[in-house]
Amino acid sequence: MRILAASDRFAGGVAKAAATLAQMALVALGVHLAADTMDDRVLTLLLGCQSWADAHLTGSHVALAEKLGVAWDTLVWWPSVPVAPISAGLALVLELVADALLVGSFLLTPRGTELTWSRYRRALSVGAIVTPFALAGVLVAGAWSLAMAAEDVLPHSVVAPWAAGLLGLASLVRMGAPAWSRAVAAMEPPRRWTDGLGPTLVILPVGILAWAHGAPVWGWLP
Protein backbone atom coordinates (compact mmCIF):
# COMPACT_ATOMS: atom_id res chain seq x y z
CA MET A 1 0.00 0.00 0.00
CA ARG A 2 2.85 2.38 0.79
CA ILE A 3 4.34 1.70 -2.63
CA LEU A 4 1.01 2.42 -4.31
CA ALA A 5 0.54 5.61 -2.28
CA ALA A 6 4.08 6.75 -3.12
CA SER A 7 3.58 5.98 -6.81
CA ASP A 8 0.30 7.92 -6.77
CA ARG A 9 2.01 10.94 -5.21
CA PHE A 10 4.84 10.69 -7.71
CA ALA A 11 2.43 10.45 -10.65
CA GLY A 12 0.46 13.40 -9.32
CA GLY A 13 3.63 15.46 -8.93
CA VAL A 14 4.74 14.62 -12.47
CA ALA A 15 1.30 15.55 -13.82
CA LYS A 16 1.34 18.91 -12.01
CA ALA A 17 4.86 19.66 -13.20
CA ALA A 18 3.98 18.73 -16.78
CA ALA A 19 0.84 20.88 -16.68
CA THR A 20 2.81 23.84 -15.29
CA LEU A 21 5.49 23.49 -17.98
CA ALA A 22 2.77 23.32 -20.64
CA GLN A 23 1.18 26.52 -19.28
CA MET A 24 4.55 28.28 -19.31
CA ALA A 25 5.16 27.10 -22.88
CA LEU A 26 1.73 28.36 -23.94
CA VAL A 27 2.53 31.81 -22.53
CA ALA A 28 5.93 31.83 -24.21
CA LEU A 29 4.37 30.93 -27.58
CA GLY A 30 1.76 33.65 -27.22
CA VAL A 31 4.21 36.34 -26.19
CA HIS A 32 6.56 35.38 -29.03
CA LEU A 33 3.72 35.58 -31.54
CA ALA A 34 2.81 39.02 -30.22
CA ALA A 35 6.45 40.12 -30.26
CA ASP A 36 6.90 39.17 -33.92
CA THR A 37 5.66 42.64 -34.86
CA MET A 38 6.98 44.47 -31.80
CA ASP A 39 10.46 45.07 -33.20
CA ASP A 40 8.91 46.63 -36.33
CA ARG A 41 6.94 49.03 -34.17
CA VAL A 42 9.94 49.90 -32.02
CA LEU A 43 11.96 50.45 -35.23
CA THR A 44 9.25 52.76 -36.57
CA LEU A 45 9.30 54.71 -33.29
CA LEU A 46 13.09 55.08 -33.34
CA LEU A 47 13.09 56.13 -37.00
CA GLY A 48 10.43 58.69 -36.15
CA CYS A 49 12.67 60.07 -33.39
CA GLN A 50 15.53 60.31 -35.88
CA SER A 51 13.33 62.15 -38.37
CA TRP A 52 12.18 64.57 -35.68
CA ALA A 53 15.78 65.24 -34.66
CA ASP A 54 16.75 65.81 -38.32
CA ALA A 55 13.91 68.29 -38.78
CA HIS A 56 14.30 70.24 -35.54
CA LEU A 57 17.85 69.88 -34.24
CA THR A 58 20.26 69.43 -37.15
CA GLY A 59 20.57 73.11 -38.09
CA SER A 60 21.21 74.38 -34.57
CA HIS A 61 23.65 71.57 -33.79
CA VAL A 62 25.63 72.14 -37.01
CA ALA A 63 25.85 75.88 -36.24
CA LEU A 64 27.00 75.13 -32.71
CA ALA A 65 29.63 72.68 -34.03
CA GLU A 66 30.98 75.40 -36.36
CA LYS A 67 31.23 77.88 -33.47
CA LEU A 68 33.05 75.34 -31.34
CA GLY A 69 35.34 74.35 -34.20
CA VAL A 70 34.46 70.65 -34.10
CA ALA A 71 33.18 68.29 -36.75
CA TRP A 72 29.43 68.55 -37.29
CA ASP A 73 28.90 64.84 -36.70
CA THR A 74 30.28 65.28 -33.20
CA LEU A 75 27.00 66.92 -32.23
CA VAL A 76 24.74 65.57 -34.96
CA TRP A 77 25.25 61.98 -33.82
CA TRP A 78 21.79 60.44 -34.23
CA PRO A 79 21.99 59.50 -37.96
CA SER A 80 24.73 56.99 -37.11
CA VAL A 81 22.73 55.25 -34.38
CA PRO A 82 22.11 51.58 -35.39
CA VAL A 83 18.36 51.68 -34.86
CA ALA A 84 17.63 48.22 -36.33
CA PRO A 85 19.76 46.27 -33.79
CA ILE A 86 18.53 48.51 -30.98
CA SER A 87 14.88 47.92 -31.89
CA ALA A 88 15.44 44.16 -32.08
CA GLY A 89 17.21 44.20 -28.71
CA LEU A 90 14.47 46.26 -27.05
CA ALA A 91 11.78 43.96 -28.46
CA LEU A 92 13.64 40.93 -27.10
CA VAL A 93 13.97 42.51 -23.66
CA LEU A 94 10.26 43.39 -23.62
CA GLU A 95 9.40 39.84 -24.69
CA LEU A 96 11.46 38.28 -21.90
CA VAL A 97 10.10 40.66 -19.26
CA ALA A 98 6.52 40.03 -20.43
CA ASP A 99 7.17 36.27 -20.26
CA ALA A 100 8.40 36.58 -16.67
CA LEU A 101 5.52 38.82 -15.56
CA LEU A 102 2.75 36.77 -17.16
CA VAL A 103 4.14 33.41 -16.07
CA GLY A 104 4.65 34.79 -12.57
CA SER A 105 1.04 35.98 -12.46
CA PHE A 106 -0.09 32.35 -12.02
CA LEU A 107 3.09 30.40 -11.21
CA LEU A 108 3.81 32.41 -8.03
CA THR A 109 0.27 32.17 -6.69
CA PRO A 110 -1.37 29.47 -4.54
CA ARG A 111 -3.46 26.76 -6.14
CA GLY A 112 -7.08 26.06 -5.31
CA THR A 113 -8.28 29.63 -4.73
CA GLU A 114 -11.86 29.96 -5.91
CA LEU A 115 -12.48 32.57 -8.57
CA THR A 116 -15.54 34.64 -7.73
CA TRP A 117 -16.82 38.01 -8.89
CA SER A 118 -16.84 39.42 -5.36
CA ARG A 119 -13.21 38.40 -4.82
CA TYR A 120 -12.17 39.94 -8.13
CA ARG A 121 -14.13 43.13 -7.44
CA ARG A 122 -12.28 43.60 -4.13
CA ALA A 123 -8.98 43.26 -6.02
CA LEU A 124 -9.80 45.83 -8.69
CA SER A 125 -6.82 47.96 -9.67
CA VAL A 126 -4.88 48.84 -12.80
CA GLY A 127 -3.04 45.52 -12.59
CA ALA A 128 -6.24 43.57 -11.95
CA ILE A 129 -7.75 45.00 -15.14
CA VAL A 130 -4.76 44.71 -17.47
CA THR A 131 -3.34 41.35 -16.34
CA PRO A 132 -6.45 39.24 -17.12
CA PHE A 133 -6.82 40.99 -20.49
CA ALA A 134 -3.17 40.53 -21.46
CA LEU A 135 -2.87 36.98 -20.11
CA ALA A 136 -6.02 35.89 -21.93
CA GLY A 137 -4.74 37.34 -25.21
CA VAL A 138 -1.35 35.67 -24.80
CA LEU A 139 -2.92 32.29 -23.98
CA VAL A 140 -5.23 32.51 -27.00
CA ALA A 141 -2.27 33.48 -29.18
CA GLY A 142 -0.21 30.62 -27.75
CA ALA A 143 -2.94 28.08 -28.47
CA TRP A 144 -3.33 29.46 -31.99
CA SER A 145 0.43 29.31 -32.54
CA LEU A 146 0.44 25.69 -31.35
CA ALA A 147 -2.40 24.86 -33.73
CA MET A 148 -0.57 26.44 -36.68
CA ALA A 149 2.60 24.51 -35.83
CA ALA A 150 0.64 21.27 -35.56
CA GLU A 151 -1.00 21.87 -38.93
CA ASP A 152 2.44 22.33 -40.51
CA VAL A 153 3.68 18.94 -39.29
CA LEU A 154 0.50 16.97 -40.01
CA PRO A 155 0.10 15.30 -43.41
CA HIS A 156 -1.68 17.60 -45.79
CA SER A 157 -5.38 16.71 -45.88
CA VAL A 158 -8.82 18.15 -45.30
CA VAL A 159 -8.72 16.85 -41.74
CA ALA A 160 -5.39 18.49 -40.80
CA PRO A 161 -6.72 22.02 -40.11
CA TRP A 162 -9.55 20.65 -38.00
CA ALA A 163 -7.25 18.35 -36.02
CA ALA A 164 -4.80 21.20 -35.44
CA GLY A 165 -7.63 23.53 -34.41
CA LEU A 166 -8.97 20.97 -31.94
CA LEU A 167 -5.48 20.57 -30.49
CA GLY A 168 -5.19 24.33 -30.02
CA LEU A 169 -8.65 24.52 -28.46
CA ALA A 170 -7.89 21.60 -26.13
CA SER A 171 -4.64 23.22 -24.99
CA LEU A 172 -6.47 26.49 -24.34
CA VAL A 173 -9.20 24.79 -22.30
CA ARG A 174 -6.98 22.31 -20.45
CA MET A 175 -3.91 24.49 -19.86
CA GLY A 176 -4.80 28.11 -20.60
CA ALA A 177 -8.06 28.40 -18.69
CA PRO A 178 -6.69 27.02 -15.39
CA ALA A 179 -3.66 29.32 -15.61
CA TRP A 180 -5.89 32.34 -16.23
CA SER A 181 -8.30 31.40 -13.43
CA ARG A 182 -5.43 30.82 -11.00
CA ALA A 183 -3.88 34.20 -11.79
CA VAL A 184 -7.13 36.14 -11.45
CA ALA A 185 -8.41 34.28 -8.37
CA ALA A 186 -5.20 34.95 -6.42
CA MET A 187 -5.28 38.73 -6.85
CA GLU A 188 -5.17 40.54 -3.54
CA PRO A 189 -7.01 43.79 -2.63
CA PRO A 190 -4.72 46.68 -3.59
CA ARG A 191 -3.34 49.33 -1.28
CA ARG A 192 -4.14 51.90 -3.96
CA TRP A 193 -5.94 51.78 -7.30
CA THR A 194 -2.72 52.28 -9.27
CA ASP A 195 -1.08 49.12 -7.90
CA GLY A 196 0.59 47.20 -10.71
CA LEU A 197 0.97 50.23 -12.97
CA GLY A 198 4.65 49.53 -13.71
CA PRO A 199 4.25 45.95 -15.00
CA THR A 200 1.17 46.92 -17.00
CA LEU A 201 3.29 49.25 -19.12
CA VAL A 202 5.02 46.10 -20.41
CA ILE A 203 2.23 43.54 -20.56
CA LEU A 204 -0.48 45.85 -21.95
CA PRO A 205 1.15 46.37 -25.38
CA VAL A 206 2.01 42.67 -25.49
CA GLY A 207 -1.60 41.81 -24.71
CA ILE A 208 -2.91 44.19 -27.36
CA LEU A 209 -0.56 42.71 -29.98
CA ALA A 210 -1.51 39.19 -28.91
CA TRP A 211 -5.20 39.91 -29.39
CA ALA A 212 -4.56 41.78 -32.65
CA HIS A 213 -2.30 39.15 -34.25
CA GLY A 214 -2.89 35.95 -32.31
CA ALA A 215 -6.67 35.68 -32.13
CA PRO A 216 -7.84 33.54 -35.07
CA VAL A 217 -11.22 35.26 -35.19
CA TRP A 218 -9.76 38.20 -37.15
CA GLY A 219 -9.04 35.96 -40.12
CA TRP A 220 -12.66 34.84 -40.20
CA LEU A 221 -14.14 38.33 -40.33
CA PRO A 222 -15.10 39.77 -43.76
Q: pTM for the full model?
A: 0.80
Q: Is residue 206 part of a domain?
A: yes
Short-list 36, 39, 52, CA closest to 83: 39
Query: For the chain, what is the radius of gyration of the CA atoms?
Result: 24
The helix (H) or strand (E) run that includes residue 82 is: none
Q: pLDDT grade, residue 222 (50/70/90)?
A: very low
Q: Is residue 45 part of a domain?
A: no
Total of domains in the chain: 1
pLDDT at 219 over 60: no
Range of the domain at 31: 14-36+83-216
pLDDT at 221 over 50: no
Q: Is residue 60 part of a domain?
A: no
Taking residues 32-48, what's their average pLDDT? 83
Write the CB contacts of 54 (distance below 8 Å, at least 6 apart in sequence).
78, 79
Q: What is the DSSP letter of 114?
A: P
Q: pLDDT grade, residue 109 (50/70/90)?
A: confident
Q: State the Cα–Cα distance between residues 192 and 30, nearest whole angstrom.
A: 30
pLDDT at 220 over 60: no
Q: Is residue 78 part of a domain?
A: no
Short-list 27, 32, 33, 220, CA closest to 136: 27
C-beta separation of 145 from 172 below 8 A: no
Average pLDDT, the chain: 82
C-beta separation of 132 from 180 below 8 A: yes
Q: Is residue 182 part of a domain?
A: yes
pLDDT at 11: 58
Q: What is the DSSP letter of 189?
A: P
**Which residue type does 88 have?**
A
Q: Is residue 66 part of a domain?
A: no
Q: Is residue 102 part of a domain?
A: yes
